[in-house]
Amino acid sequence: MIKKAFALLLVIIIGIFLSATFAKIPFGVPKTVVGKYYLDHGVNDLGGVNIVTSIVVLYRGFDTLGEVTVLFLAATGLGMVLAGLREKDEKKRKKTAPSLIMRTETKLLFPMIILFGAYIFIHGHLTPGGGFPGGVVIASAFLLMFLSHEKWEAKEKYTKITEALAGMTYVVIGLIGLYVAGSFLENFLPKGVPGNLFSAGIIPLIYTAIGFKVGSELTGLLQNLRETTE
């Protein structure tokens, strides 16, 4: 009882201080100078219409490389944990056949979902989205196939090769920027006309690499989860 009363008291104190702090911050008003700089100069500097993508890939490109590394480490760690639980004998796995409607429909939907994911990451500099959501959409297409076709699988060899190539592409683009333009992940391609598909320099290239990397990584993760025993 006393424990609960103390917990309640603590929550109330934290709530009072948090609300007092947030009440001082005006809602919807730009608070820093750097955000205004991005909004004013982002399109002219880099040529990408979607400012969010320009910030993520070019202004804060190094952070994004770190994020991709974190995702890679998380997927690898889960794969290592699950490796001990993997069922070697295929026949021992419990199989319940999905219905005909599900199998037919996912076969039709699978290429369209892949296409939508590719659209999201290729048009990252023009429309909302980018490499991370696009990759997840592609992985969810593979998830649908895993659910509906019990024999169908994504070979670990291919997901690993795709992932490694995409990650290397990202770093190589960064290194070319270091050689040509003078700093790591610097834009070295022409900016083009803002609003065109071929514009914004290296943003579409990097987001395509990230899309492939995230998609193959999460597909491999789902495949790992699927292969483990009960």
Partner 1 sequence: MSSLILILSAILVIFMIVGAIVTIHARDLLVAIIASAIVDLVLAVLFYILQAPDVAITQASIMGGLTTAIFLVAIKKTERYEQ
Using the rule CB under 8 A, is 19 a contact of partner 1?
A: no
Tell me the closest approach of the beta carbon of residue 179 to partner 1, in angstroms.
Answer: 31
Distance of CA 190 to the CA centre of its chain: 26
Cβ-based neighbours of 81, under 8 Å, separated by 6 or more: none
Between residues 77 and 128, which has the closer beta carbon with respect to partner 1? 128
Which has the closest alpha carbon to 150: 218, 47, 227, 76? 227
Residue 189 binding partner 1, by CB under 8 A:
no
Where do the H-state alpha helices sit in the chain? 2-24, 33-46, 51-54, 61-83, 100-122, 131-148, 156-180, 203-227
145 lies in the site for partner 1, by CB under 8 A: no
Closest to 154 measured CA to CA, from 143, 165, 164: 143
Considering the complex, state which of residue 177 and residue 220 has its C-beta at the smaller distance from partner 1.
Answer: 220
Q: Does 218 bind partner 1 (CB under 8 A)?
A: yes
Token reading at 42? 């982002």
What three-state secondary structure class fits 106? helix
Q: Which is nearer to partner 1, 133 or 192 (CB)?
A: 133
Q: Which of residues 41-70 bind partner 1 (CB under 8 A)?
A: 50, 52-53
Query: Binding to partner 1 by residue 226, rule CB under 8 A?
Result: yes
Q: Exactly one of 130, 201, 204, 215 binds partner 1 (CB under 8 A); which one?
A: 130
What does the binding site for partner 1 look like in residue numbers (CB under 8 A)? 50, 52-53, 120, 128-130, 132-133, 136-137, 139-140, 143, 218, 222, 225-226, 228-230
